[in-house]
Structure 1
Amino acid sequence: MRVIDGVEALSLLRGESGRAPPRYVLLVDLNMPRMNGIEFLAELRSDPRLKRAVVFVITTSDDVRDLMAAYGEQVAGYILKQRAGPNFDSLVATLDHYRRIVRLPDMRIADVRH
């Protein structure tokens, strides 16, 4: 699924516009309208149902502050667009393959601590 910005993504993931997907791997751009990628990650991580989501950041920013902020929000990877280059379709296919072979938690279930 593709969304325009972080606000729309949170609405979709929370099931506000229908049914939320049970498991997912997110590819998040740092430069989004209305809510930037770091703001989106902070909001995502504060939600008990969404905080375990697997997130990869894709960006043009090579700024170490952006890198540290993203990893501070527990991203699984920080991908520079210039490195992905013309292989963007391959990157998406790799993440889709990852999603299919890795066992992910059901995001509809809130975090339960024993």
Structure 2
Amino acid sequence: MPDDNNVNSIILIEDNPVDVDLTLRAFKMRNLSNPIIVLRDGEEAIRWMEKLKDGAPLPVVILLDLKLPKYSGLEVLKYIKSSETLNGVPVVVLTTSSEDDDVKQAYKLGVNSYVLKPVDFEKFIDVAVQIELYWSVLNKPGIR
């Protein structure tokens, strides 16, 4: 079972080490206080999510890349949104894919937001700030 230090955590599901580093640096620059849990592929993400069903604290938001090894981001999203325990956790797709089919499928599966990763670091920081502000401060989560 994940430990209780993961209260108010943000889960980042991302296989690209550069994107992981950019995301972590962007949040660190903003002094984000939420713990960030990095999961590197779809299989690891699903295994970790299984542990949440044992009563561990749910994350405040899941940041999900679509292009993952082992299980795609869409498969992970389908798993999350079909789980009675996890389906209320907000999921933000954070990806480079602007393909219409990916966007449509993600919303069909229940994604809460679909954000394209900016290439420029300063713009990436802006995106991280907006994600943090909305999902960690402004959004009122459902009762869990």
TM-score range, shorter chain: 0.7 to 0.9
Q: Flag the 1:14–1:92 CA change in 2: closer, same or farther, 3 A.
A: farther
Question: Unaligned regions of 5+ residues in structure 2, if any?
Answer: 1-36
2:84 alignment partner in structure 1: 48
| Alignment RMSD | 2.2
1:8 alignment partner in structure 2: 44
1:96 alignment partner in structure 2: 132
Quote the offset at 1:37 in angstroms.
0.6
Quote the offset at 1:91 in angstroms.
2.1
Cα displacement string for residues 47-105 of structure 1 (whole angstroms, at most 9, x for unaligned residues):
110111101111111210011001111212111124x6322233223222222332213
1:105 alignment partner in structure 2: 142
Q: Which runs of structure 2 are paired with 1:59-74 in the superposition (5 Å)? A: 59-74=95-110
| Alignment size in residue pairs | 105
Question: Unaligned regions of 5+ residues in structure 1, if any?
Answer: 108-114
Q: Secondary structure at the match of 1:49?
A: coil
User: Structure 2: how far apart are the matches of 1:19 and 1:90?
Assistant: 33
Larger CA deviation: 69-78 vs 90-99: 90-99
Contact 2:58–2:89 (CA<8 Å) still a contact in 1? Answer: no
**Percent of residue pairs identical:** 29
Contact 1:22–1:106 (CA<8 Å) still a contact in 2? Answer: no
When normalised by structure 2's length, the TM-score is 0.62
Structure 2 counterpart of 1:29, from 65, 68, 73: 65
Q: Secondary structure at the match of 1:14?
A: helix
Larger CA deviation: 28-37 vs 52-61: 52-61
